Structure 1
Amino acid sequence: MSTNPHRKTDRSQNRVADLVSTSVGRVTSTPSVDDDTPIHHVEVRNERYPEGKSAVVIPQAHGEGYLPPEGSTVLLTRIDRTTPVVVGPYYHAGSETPALEPGERVVSHPTSDARVKFHNDGAISIDGDEPVYINGGMRRPVVDVQTTTDADGHVIDITLERADNVYL
Structure 2
Amino acid sequence: MSTKVHQLVDGHGLPLVIALSAGQAGDSPALLPLLGHLQVARPAGRPRTRPDALRGDKAYSSRAIRAHLRARGIKAVIPEPADQAGHRKRRGSRGGRPPAFDPDDYRGRNVVERSFNQLKQWRGLATRFDKLAIVYRAAVVLNAVISWTRHLSDTL
Class of the TM-score when normalised by the shorter of the 2 chains: under 0.3
Q: Could you say which structure has the higher helix fraction?
A: 2
Please say which structure displays the higher CA radius of gyration. Answer: 1
Higher strand share: 1
TM-score normalised by structure 1 residue count: 0.21
